[in-house]
Amino acid sequence: MSTYLLVSRSTEYEARLRALLGSRLSVVTGEFLTFGADSVLEMVTDTPRIVLLGPVLNFEETRDLTRGLVERYPDVGLIVVREQRADLEDWVDELSLHAVLSPLASDETTRDLLDRLAGWLVSHGRAEESDFAEDADAETESDAQPDAPWSSLFHATEAETPADAVEPTSSTAPEAHDAEQAAEATPEEPEWLFPPLDPSVRSEALAVIAPKGGQGKSTIAINLAVGLASFAPNSVVLVDGDLQFGDITVALALEPTRTIVDAVAPEAVADELVLKTTFTHHPAGFFVVASAPSPELGDEVQPRHLGALVDRLRGIFRYVIVDTTPGLGEHTLNVLEHVTDAVVVSNMAVASLRAVRSELTLLTTLGLMPVNRHMVLNFSDKMAGLTAKDAASIIGTPIDVEVPRSSAVVLASNRGRPLVHDDPRDPAARALQELVARVAREDTTKRTRIARRRRILEPQ
């Protein structure tokens, strides 16, 4: 029997829990939620004692899962794994949860919470000690303080509990901080491990370019990062190179404390450890170098600084992705001198297609076209009056990936989630997965389907 169950879209978090819990953990990847919560529940064959939901699950998905789990397993312990955001109070008020745990919580804090929840379940007759016997030699708070009341169950600095989430009618229910305190809890800064680069594998850098704005360039860059992170967890970095109006962190619902201005500062240039502190981590297993916080500060980043940053990042990460400023300004041209691939994006407007042709001609003339090029026709629509073949004729080069127009793209962006995670079966998501396969050509020989690649979280 699997004592613990995780339902999550975060490959990085699943890997952490597997290392922590081993064979006692079973996992259902969040992509199955595309078919509804019942599809996920049908994949649960054992009776889990503690279920962790998230990260990268939205409210509706978490709500449906909690309802289904409580109905099927009335004695189960439920933990939602979610960032401490302002709307956390709404979550804990409406969901039947036992605790809220930050995805950035340390392994020690996570283990402590799981052990104390296990003790509470046993003390209330919801589980047997034998259900958690494999963890007997791990020191828990109950071992260290055998007389401590279980009312202190959720007094963890990185995980809090709604007051009415556990047995609200029982006088012996665990005492918990209220939702406001949970939302204000600040997790300790994690020490992310950067996987060492294999000397036999070349680090690749990609510039996502477009001659005009509004082509969907940032969406392409974001989903590339997510897809590539499934091959190389924590070895992908997405640089928001639109220095004046970059919105990568907004689209990903991230709140960076450092930006690209810090990443090119003298102290970061001199010390790689300082440089690493300027990255913002995304739960999907990749890092972001955020755009400048204001246009004025963005102007301070010189073109040569951006090119040098790309080179430094290639010494740390397997994949470096740069979302560039539209057009061919100095910053974009400098980036193109330091990358291995160019992802060229255009919509189906004739004006945009002709601009792409001019851009490609100029880059070829200047000798700045990277060795590998991927032509992406975005917002493809049969009602546009053009076909992909027509678009290729105007551009003067074949279309490599055609991404159909889809309302799911906007919906995912408004949720602050990458499309390939939010709705992986959407036609646009499938096209983006095809682009990932083109870029990760050295890794695609290991697996034949992108959807399965996102589930390769077990240690190889």
Q: What is the CATH number of the domain that holds 138?
A: 3.40.50.2300
Residue 26 has a CB neighbour count (10 Å cut-off) of 19
Residue 270 has a CB neighbour count (10 Å cut-off) of 9
In a shared domain, residues 86 and 167 = yes
Residue 195 domain-assigned (yes or no): no
Average pLDDT of the chain to the nearest whole number: 82
pLDDT > 90 fraction of the chain, expressed in percent and rounded: 51
CB of 175 closer than 8 Å to CB of 151: yes
In a shared domain, residues 376 and 281 = yes
In a shared domain, residues 274 and 394 = yes
pLDDT score, position 219? 95
The 3-state DSSP composition of the chain as helix, strand, coil percent (nearest 5) reads 45, 15, 40
In a shared domain, residues 156 and 219 = no
In a shared domain, residues 140 and 85 = yes
In a shared domain, residues 63 and 142 = yes
pLDDT score, position 131? 87
In a shared domain, residues 133 and 235 = no
CB of 233 closer than 8 Å to CB of 267: no
Query: What are φ and ψ of residue 6, in 5° steps?
Result: -120, 130
If one counts the domains in the chain, the total is 2
In a shared domain, residues 305 and 439 = yes
Residue 368 domain-assigned (yes or no): yes
pLDDT score, position 404? 95
pTM: 0.59
* Interatomic CA distance for residues 281 and 256, integer angstroms: 9
In a shared domain, residues 25 and 54 = yes
In a shared domain, residues 47 and 128 = yes
If you count DSSP H runs as helices and E runs as strands, how many of each does the chain have, helices first?
A: 21, 14
Pairing of strands 280-282, 236-240: unpaired
pLDDT score, position 87? 56
Planar angle of CA 113, 11, 255, nearest 5 degrees: 75
In a shared domain, residues 143 and 253 = no
pLDDT score, position 89? 61
In a shared domain, residues 152 and 260 = no
Per the structure, the complete domain to which residue 230 belongs is given by 204-453
pLDDT, one tens digit per residue, over 134-166 is 644 444 333 433 333 333 343 333 333 433 333
* Interatomic CA distance for residues 8 and 26, integer angstroms: 11
Taking 50 as the pLDDT cut, the residues of the chain under it are 135-190, 447-460
Q: Tell me the two tokens of residue 436.
A: 């990932």
pLDDT, one tens digit per residue, over 425-435 is 899 999 999 99
